[in-house]
Each structure stands twice: as C-alpha cells, then as structure tokens.
C-alpha cells in the first residue's frame, strides 16, 4: 500500500503481469513522445521562421510529396502494428488462466460483491488470497452488468448477468489493494468496491482456519444434485436414465440434437440448467424442466462446480480429482510451481484454453 504523503502518480505492481502492462504503457509513452516532439517542434519552428513578413504574400508553391506521404503512412502503420502485437500478447496472458489456479466464485449484486472460496469461506466486498498462488475468479451477477476491476493487478473483467466471465491473477506482493466496480451499475456504483488482501501463505492458512468453514461449492452442489433439486433422479448415470450421463462430460465436445456441437464448459452447464431445451444432447429427449428462478447464482456456481468434479482432471482448479474438497494444506502444496511460471509455453496452452472456456467462442454461441 501507498503510505507516503506525496501524491502517488503510479499504481503499485502487485501481480505477475503488472510489469507487462506497464512495459506496454511505457512503450506507448515513448512512442507518443517520439511522435509529438518532432511535430510540436516543427509547428513552433515553422511558425516562427515562416511567420508573415508582409501582408498577403503567398507561401511557397509546394503541393505535396509522394515520398513524404509514403514515409509518414508506413512508419505510423509499422509502429501501430508493434503496439497491436504487444497489446495482443499481454491480452492473451490476461485472458488465459493457468490450469492450476484456485477458483473463487464471485457474484455481483447491486451494490456488493459476494465471494466464495472453494473451501467454503464466504466474504463480502473483501477477497483474501495467498501470495504467489494463481487465483481464478468465476464470476456472474444477479442483476446488471458490473466489472471486477483490480488496478494494482492491472486487470479487470465485466461481470455479465446470464453467463460466466473469468478473471485471473497471481499476486506478487502482500498488501491491501483496491477492488472497484468499473462498469456503471446504478445508484451506489461508486460504493461498490472493496479490498483484496494478499497474504503470506501462513497468514492465509490462519485466516482460512479462523473462518467457519461451510460446505465447499462441490459439496453444496452434490447436496443440491442428489437431494434438494433431485437432479440425480434422471442424471445419476445408470443405463436406464432419461438424462444425460454427466461423468466425464465437462470439457468434452458434445453433439447436439439437430446437429452442431458444443464444448461443455461452465456456460454450457449453466445454460443447460436454466434453458434445458436450448441445447439438447443428441440421443435425449427435451424433457428436462427449466430451473430458472429456482436456483440462486450461488447454487448455480455450486452445481457447476459439482458437475466439473465429476470429470477427473477437467476442473482447472482442483489439484487432485480424488479430493473434491482440497484442504488448505493440500492447496498450499500445489502453489510452488504455479507462482512464477510465465513461460512462453503458456501462450500455446492459453489459446486452447481461451477457446474452450470463453463465453463467446464460436462453438458455443452458434447454437444460441
């Protein structure tokens, strides 16, 4: 945190890609200066040197120059392409969560943020995360569009009703950082914020154990699935079942009745619960009733987490498929490797991942 008295002019760098965004920023500042100085200088020099000496004398007969026009078209184009490429590379880093991230579920609501950790802890307007551990937020909202903005981490993402969006970061510095809602959401928009606390692993473990642990999302989802909502009566997975088998579904490509395929990601699971008839798996009848209005956003998160847990290795977040409820100690074990591996290989893996889990990928949206 900024503790000095003078005016801060630059935000802290508190995540692994903060330096990348800042590097891009400084590159652009340099480009801007490199373009501005000659132009401003030329305006001043020409203005002084060629100022009017005598009334109504016309200037030199110069109409243009193909060489100059070509030069000052090509140079800005080339420079703008470097800006584009730099921006695209950083962007794909920001959009591509590593596989070993810990998930936190976020639900926005006018005008508060509700978070739930995989271990069951709930928080409002505050998010505690361990230092060096990659955190992936799976986010939705109960009402209007919000935006989960973390300036010190140099990332943000809109939180959109009716679908999941994602945000990830790996904190690199312990401290207390701003959380802002950055999409206008009505009356108390400027009050819809809070803090992200980045803690040393040990402090984080203490914080976790200090909170009363409720059900984990997977446990809560299992309970809803088997008991409260009765999903299991059709989807339990036996040969005579009316509903599709869910084991191994998550992350796979499913064929739909009437042609087309869709990748079974979070948004597909969510949509299948809310609008079951819209994307029916091949070989099944469209008989499932909608659960719209019967499940809350938190319950939906839990159901998605549970369905995800039925596919070994699919959950991008749970380190070992066997343990549906990883203990804090377990989670800590997986941290070391994930903290700082911003390797080039990540970019390739990233592309696949972005295609699979983004809400707007073609495979997902063409059937809408």
Using CB under 8 A as the binding rule, the residues of this chain from 80 to 109 that contact another protein are: 80-81, 83-84, 86-95
First to last CA, the chain: 45
Does residue 279 have a cis peptide bond before it, meaning omega lies within 30 degrees of 0? no
Identity of the residue, 87 or 248, whose beta carbon is nearer to another protein in the bound complex: 87
CB of residue 316 to another protein, shortest distance in Å: 17
Q: How far is the CB of 177 from another protein (least distance, A)?
A: 10
Residue 119 tokens, joined? 């271990």
* Residues numbered 184-223 forming contacts with another protein, rule: CB under 8 A: 184-191
**Segment 282 to 321, residues that bind another protein, using CB under 8 A:** none
- For 204, residues 6+ apart whose C-beta sits below 8 A from its C-beta are 128, 129, 130, 131, 328
- Cα angle value 115/118/121 (rounded, 5°): 55
CA distance 318 to 333: 12
Q: How far apart are the C-alpha atoms of 15 and 92, rounded to whole Å? A: 15
Identify which of residues 89 and 337 has a Cβ nearer to another protein in the complex.
89
Among 240, 285, 343, 360, binds another protein (CB under 8 A): 360
Q: Which of residues 151-190 bind another protein (CB under 8 A)?
A: 151-152, 154-158, 160-163, 165, 178, 180-190
Q: Taking the alpha carbons of 216, 219, 222, 227 in that order, is the dihedral positive or negative?
A: negative
x-or-dash string of contact with another protein, 27-56, rule CB under 8 A: -x--xx--xx--xx-xx--xx--xxxxxxx
Instruction: Please state the closest distance from residue 189 (CB atom) to another protein, in A.
Output: 6
Chain positions 125 to 154 lying near another protein, rule: CB under 8 A, are 143-145, 147, 149, 151-152, 154
| Site for another protein contains 19 (CB under 8 A) | no
We find the least distance from the C-beta atom of residue 33 to another protein, in angstroms, to be 9
Q: Which residue among 110, 201, 213, 257 contacts another protein (CB under 8 A)? A: 110
How are beta strands 135-141 and 102-109 bridged, if at all? parallel
Q: Give a three-class secondary structure readout of 159-196.
A: ECCCCCEEEEECECCCEEEEEEECCCCCCCHHHCEEEE
Q: Closest CB to another protein among 90 and 236?
A: 90
């Amino acid at each position: 945190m900024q503790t000095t008295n003078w005016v801060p002019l630059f935000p802290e760098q508190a995540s692994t890609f903060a330096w990348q965004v800042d590097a891009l920023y400084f590159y652009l500042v340099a480009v801007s200066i490199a373009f501005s100085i000659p132009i401003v200088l030329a305006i001043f020099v020409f203005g002084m040197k060629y100022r009017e000496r005598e009334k109504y004398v016309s200037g030199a007969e110069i109409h243009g120059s193909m060489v100059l026009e070509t030069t000052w078209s090509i140079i800005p184009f080339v420079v703008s392409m470097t800006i584009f490429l730099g921006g695209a590379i950083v962007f794909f880093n920001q959009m591509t969560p590593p596989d070993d991230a810990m998930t936190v579920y976020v639900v926005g609501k006018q005008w508060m943020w509700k978070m739930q950790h995989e271990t069951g802890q709930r928080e409002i307007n505050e998010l505690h995360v361990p230092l060096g551990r990659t955190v992936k937020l799976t986010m939705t909202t109960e009402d209007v569009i919000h935006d989960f903005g973390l300036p010190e981490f140099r990332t943000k993402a809109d939180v959109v009703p009716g679908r999941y969006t994602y945000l990830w970061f790996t904190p690199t510095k312990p401290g207390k950082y701003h959380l802002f809602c950055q999409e206008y959401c009505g009356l108390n928009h400027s009050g819809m914020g809070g803090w992200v606390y980045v803690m040393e692993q040990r402090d984080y473990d203490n914080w976790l154990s200090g909170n009363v642990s409720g059900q984990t999302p997977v446990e809560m989802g299992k309970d809803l699935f088997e008991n409260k909502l009765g999903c299991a009566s059709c989807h339990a997975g036996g040969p005579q079942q009316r509903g599709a088998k869910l084991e191994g579904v998550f992350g796979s490509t499913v064929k739909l009745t009437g042609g087309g395929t869709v990748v079974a990601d979070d948004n597909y699971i969510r949509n299948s619960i809310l609008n079951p008839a819209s994307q029916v798996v091949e070989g099944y009848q469209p008989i499932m009733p909608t659960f719209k209005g019967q499940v809350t956003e938190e319950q939906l998160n839990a159901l998605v987490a549970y369905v995800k847990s039925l596919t070994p290795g699919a959950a991008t977040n749970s380190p070992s498929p066997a343990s549906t409820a990883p203990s804090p100690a377990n989670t800590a074990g997986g941290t070391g490797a994930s903290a700082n591996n911003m390797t080039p290989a990540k970019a390739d893996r990233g592309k696949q991942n972005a295609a699979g889990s983004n809400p707007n990928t073609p495979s997902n949206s063409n059937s809408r």
